[in-house]
Every structure is written in C-alpha cells, then in structure tokens.
Amino acid sequence: MAEKVIEKPLKNRLLTERRLIDAVGSIIRTKGYTGLGVNAIAKEAKVNKKLIYRYFDNVDRLIETYVIEKDYWLSFNNKILEQIDLKDKKNSLIDNFVSILQKQFEFFWNEEEMQKIILWEISERTHLLDSVCMVREEYGNSLLAMTDTYFKNSAVSLRGVAALLVSGIYYLVLHAKKNESTICGLDVNTEEGRAEIQKSIRHIVEWAFHAGKSKIKPSRTDPPDAAE
C-alpha cells in the first residue's frame, strides 16, 4: 500500500508536466510565441498556474524544456556521436554528416512548432533562446571537432560549409512554407524538389571532404619556405 501512495503523486506530477509541455507546443502552433504566458499555458493545459512554478520554477524553464525536447540537434546529439565508426572514421563521418543534414531537412520540414521557434530566434533576442542556441552550438561543435583533423591547413572550411547548409535548410523550409514559391527553379513544396535538396546535401558534403585534401596556397606576401 505504501508504494502506491508514493507512486500516485509521482504519476500525477509526470502527467501534469507532460500536459504543460504539450500546452506550450499547442500555443506556439496556433498563436505563435507571442501567445506564450503563464495564464495562457495553464489554461491550455487545464491546470492551476501555480504548478508551473512548482514543477518548472518559472515559465521560461518550462518553455526551455519544450524547446530542448523538440530541437533536432539537441534531441539527437548523443545518437549521432554513437554512430561514428572509428575503424573507418572518415567515410563514417561523411555518411553520418550527410544523414544528419538530410534528417534535419526532413525533420524541420515536418515540424511546424520548430519552424516557429526558429522564426522566434531570428526575430527576437531573449535569454531563453540565447541559452538554447549556446547548448545547440556546443553539441554541434562536438561533431565538427571530429572532422577538424581532415581540414587542418586545408583550403576548405567544413565549418563554413556546415554553417551554410544548416542555415540554408532553415531558410529553404521557411521560405517554401510561407511563400510557396520556387527557389532557383526548385519547388521545395513538392517531393521532387525536396529530393533535389537531399541529393545536393550529399554532393556538397562529399565534395568538401574530397576538396579538403587541397592545402592553402601561400599568398604573395608570405615569406618563402626555408626549404625552397
């Protein structure tokens, strides 16, 4: 009997936390981030607003919990690093890098709430979003750090390529969803258009690793090598 007395409050708390987290997503989806607030979230979840403070300390912590749960990079980071095959590290990094970006494109295309969160990030600066961005950067850097050895003194910057691909994916999806127009003749709202993007992601990543073998050429102002 004692165990049931302990388990019931815990179960109720977990259910309430879930309702509050889901309420954040529902509001973002229907009203946007401007609709978020203690009263609105509590009303959507059909719980007393005091429970937000009891279980999450404050509304920002609740929203942060939701964002971290939904964010592609934060939720899949550990799985990504576990998939690297150290016996064939370079090819494994290429395949996983391609897969990560292709899945990001697919994930972001299907997640309406995440689309609105990214719009929120680029339109308004808040401590909450700054914190999430910093954590996302730390996770992304842990993967990029594994590739640095292949691009040391290289003419190619994989970090630059990755930055363009990640931000390009965000823009492509947001542009297609909002304007329903083509980009460079591609209609990303069609399966054919999205397939072209997926194919191009692989081409770009494979090119970067292949071209990464080329070294930076010294400029005319650089001193001559002592061996010359």
Answer for the pair 108, 188: CB distance below 8 angstroms, yes or no. no
Q: How confident is the model at residue 54 (pLDDT cuts 50, 70, 90)?
A: very high
Q: Please compute the mean of the pLDDT values over residues 66-72 and round it to a whole number.
A: 83
Domain match, 59 and 86 both: no
The reply to whether 94 and 129 lie within a common domain is yes
Q: Which of 6-15, 23-32, 216-225 has the lowest mean pLDDT?
A: 216-225
Is residue 54 located within the same domain as residue 122?
A: no
The answer, yes or no, to whether residue 148 has pLDDT greater than 80, is yes
Q: Within this chain, do residues 52 and 75 fall inside the same structural domain, yes or no?
A: no
pLDDT at 4: 46
Q: What is the DSSP string of 68-135?
A: HHH-HHHHHHHHHHHT--GGGHHHHHHHHHHHHHHHHHHHHHH-HHHHHHHHHHHH---HHHHHHHHH
Same domain, 94 and 178: yes
Output the CA–CA distances (angstroms, integers) from residue 179 to 106, 171, 176, 186, 189, in the order listed. 18, 11, 6, 13, 10
Q: Are both 59 and 75 inside the same structural domain? A: no
Both 59 and 88 in one domain: the answer is: no
| Assigned domain for 228 exists | no
- Cβ burial of 93 (10 Å; 0-12, 13-18, 19+) is buried
* Mean pLDDT for the stretch of residues 100-116: 91
**Separation CA 102–CA 203 (nearest Å):** 12
Q: Is residue 222 part of a domain?
A: no
More confident residue, 74 or 185: 185
Domain shared by 85 and 126, yes or no: yes
Residue 132 located in a structural domain: yes
User: Domain total for the chain?
Assistant: 2
Does residue 84 sit in the same domain as residue 173? yes
Domain shared by 84 and 168, yes or no: yes
- Domain enclosing residue 50, as ranges: 2-63
Residues 142-152 as b/e (b if ≥16 CB within 10 A, e otherwise) read ebbebbeebbe
pTM over 0.85: no
Q: Mean of the pLDDT values across residues 169-182?
A: 90
Q: For the chain, what is the mean pLDDT?
A: 84
- The answer as to whether 227 is a domain residue is no
- On the question of pLDDT at 227 being above 60, the answer is no
The tokens describing 42, both together, are 């509590």
Same domain, 53 and 79: no
Q: For residues 68 and 216, what is the distance between their CA atoms, to the nearest angstrom?
A: 39
CATH of residue 27: 1.10.10.60
**Can you say how many angstroms the Cα of residue 169 is from the centroid of all Cα atoms in its chain?**
10
H runs (alpha helix) in the chain: 2-31, 38-45, 50-56, 59-70, 72-82, 89-110, 112-123, 127-144, 158-179, 191-211
